[in-house]
Amino acid sequence: MFRLDGKIAIVTGAGSGIGLAIASTFAQNGARVFALDRDVKAAGAAVESIRAAGGAASALECDVAVAASVQSAFARIDSDRDAPRIDILVNNAGIAHIGTVENTSEEDLDRIYSVNVKGVFLCSQAAVRRMLTTGGGVILNLASIASLIGLTDRFAYSMSKGAVLTMTRSIAVDYVKRGIRCNCICPARVHTPFVDGYLRTAYPGREAEMFRQLSEYQPLGRMGTPEEVAALALYLCSDQASFITGQAYPIDGGVLAF
């Protein structure tokens, strides 16, 4: 179950964290993966690790916030003779921001919007146009529990993830009769290299204390792992989830239940 044998999958932001875990998990389960990342060296390292584990993958440089970059990456996939179609798109690339409506600058808002919202739009548009010519496919977006509840000091980030949730449902409704499914995952805090870097920068000397506080926010008492998110992504993109579209799946350590 949950195999992706013969599937062609695109994962954005695949150079690290959740994107790397999803790309690796998909390749381990039979997919041919295109790992897209603005940091092409990180994407290349991800592909090397996937290939070392016996998977099939290719790295492509792509800044999802720039239309020309997205078009170029998808065109290169089109020209790959081993990728006759796109079966799966995972819109994982995203950036974070801390701040309220008062102290969020216009530049901050535009930056978050360009990656987290416009990036999902550009990649989804490119994928949908191709999927419609080959019988359909699956789009999976990375949203957040911030799209479902209010989080303190996350004004711009919450705005962007709320947009991801509604884009998910719009795509699902528009293409439900045309063979394209679209869902999103809504994680709580997930322990990635980004978290460690943030703690080192924002709380030097207090990393362990703040890590504990961030972990205890989840009633289960810890953060999620990228591999746990990847396992849910694998299911939602597999044929076993063919009756699921337009849904938001929390993976939150109990946050929404308490």
Digit-by-digit pLDDT tens for the chain (258 residues) are 899 999 999 999 999 999 999 999 999 999 999 999 999 999 999 999 999 999 999 999 999 999 999 999 999 999 999 889 999 999 999 999 999 999 999 999 999 999 999 999 999 999 999 999 999 999 999 999 999 999 999 999 999 999 999 999 999 999 999 999 999 999 999 999 999 999 999 899 999 999 999 999 999 999 999 999 999 999 999 999 999 999 999 999 999 998
Do the domain assignments include residue 163? yes
Residue 55 lies in a domain: yes
Does some domain include residue 202?
Answer: no
For β-strands 248-251 and 32-37, DSSP reports them as unpaired
Burial-class residue 150 by CB neighbours within 10 Å (0-12, 13-18, 19+): exposed
Domain annotation covers residue 54: yes
Domain membership flag for residue 204: no
How far CA 23 is from CA of 44, 182, 247, in Å, comes to 12, 18, 22
- From the candidates 157, 175, 217, 249, give the one annotated as an active-site residue: 157
Contacts of 8 (CB under 8 A, 6+ apart): 31, 32, 34, 77, 83, 84, 85, 86, 87, 88
Which 3 state secondary structure label does DSSP give 224?
strand
Q: Is residue 15 part of a domain?
A: yes
CA distance 258 to 253: 10
- Tally of structural domains, the chain: 1
Give the CATH number of the domain where residue 54 resides: 3.40.50.720
Q: Which residue has the tokens 């994982």?
A: 92
Instruction: Show the domain range for 76.
Output: 8-188+224-250
* Residue 154: inside a domain: yes
Beta strands in the chain (DSSP E): 8-12, 32-37, 56-61, 88-91, 137-142, 180-187, 248-251
Task: Determine whether 217 is an active site residue.
Answer: no
Determine phi and psi for 96, rounding to 5 degrees. Answer: -110, 165
CA distance linking residue 171 with residue 121, whole number of Å = 10
pLDDT computed for residue 1 by the predictor? 86
pTM of the entire predicted model:
0.97
Residue 207 lies in a domain: no
Residue 7 has what pLDDT?
98
